[in-house]
Structure 1
Amino acid sequence: MSTVDLTAQTLDDALDTEGITLIDWWASWCGPCMKFGPIYEKASEQHDDITFAKINTETEQELSTAVGISSIPTLMAFRDGVMVFQQAGALPGPALDNLIEQVRALDMVEVKQKVAEQEAAAAAGGQA
């Protein structure tokens, strides 16, 4: 599977799915982005059960700002709609493969329980 381009209009639908979605935030003027692009594309061809998406920070400036992208490339990993990884910087191929395996191995029942606990604690803290 090759990568798909996402926009502010298509991001929510892409994340509202079961499974793994990786998002590469990039720009055409960014040297590290151009170096990471072929690595990301190759991984997309090797893992057809994962959605590999790209968001161009130049054309999606408002979205990039809203999400808090301050350095590119930035890679985000979502599983079952939950962000489980975010890091700026280009990853070498073996590191990307390792990340994919770690995301696959997550116990999502446990992850969602921890997210719910954090949200409940934040809500309780806001009411004090």
Structure 2
Amino acid sequence: MSTTNLTTESFEKTVTDNDIVFVDFWASWCGPCRMFAPVYDKVSAQHEDVVFGKVDTEAEQAIAAAAQISSIPTLMAFREGIMVFRQAGALGEKDFAGLVDAVKGLDMDEVRAEIAKQETGK
């Protein structure tokens, strides 16, 4: 699947309406962002079952602020509407492809149980 530009209007719906969503926060003036973009595009083409979104932090400052983006590129992964990964910095193709596979392989019942445990402090 090709990448999708996410806006204030589409961000939340995209994250909540799809099983797995990766989001690349970037800006055109950012060198590491420009280096990561072809990697992101190449890996996205190998996973038709995953949504790969991009947020231009200059054009979509409200999303960047809400997501507390302080460094770009920042990559986030959502599974069933839950953020399961967040990291600033560009990844290589092998590492990013491995991350996509890891997110696909998550046991979401375990993830929800861990979140509940953290929320209750037990």
Identical-residue share of aligned pairs (%): 50
SS in 2 for 1:103: helix
Q: Which of structures 1 and 2 has the bigger CA Rg?
A: 1
Find the counterpart in structure 2 of residue 26 from structure 1.
26
CA RMSD of aligned residues (A): 1.1
Amino acid at match of 1:48: E
SS in 2 for 1:58: coil
Q: TM-score of the superposition, structure 1-length normalised?
A: 0.90
Find the counterpart in structure 2 of residue 90 from structure 1.
90
Find the counterpart in structure 2 of residue 44 from structure 1.
44
Q: TM-score of the superposition, structure 2-length normalised?
A: 0.94
Aligned residues: 121
Task: Map 1:76-115 to 2 at 5 A.
Answer: 76-115=76-115
Contact 2:18–2:51 under 8 Å retained in 1: no
Find the counterpart in structure 2 of residue 7 from structure 1.
7
SS in 2 for 1:16: helix
Instruction: Decide whether aligned partners of structure 1 residues 9 and 119 sit closer, same or farther in structure 2, where only a CA change above 3 A counts.
Output: farther
Cα deviation, 1:90-113, whole Å, max 9, x if unaligned, reads: 100000011011111111001011
Measure, in 2, the Cα distance between the counterparts of 1:81 and 1:73: 21
Q: Which has the higher helix share?
A: 1
- What are the ranges of 5 or more consecutive residues in structure 1 without an aligned counterpart? 122-128
- What are the ranges of 5 or more consecutive residues in structure 2 without an aligned counterpart? none
Measure, in 2, the Cα distance between the counterparts of 1:36 and 1:6: 17
Contact 2:76–2:87 under 8 Å retained in 1: yes
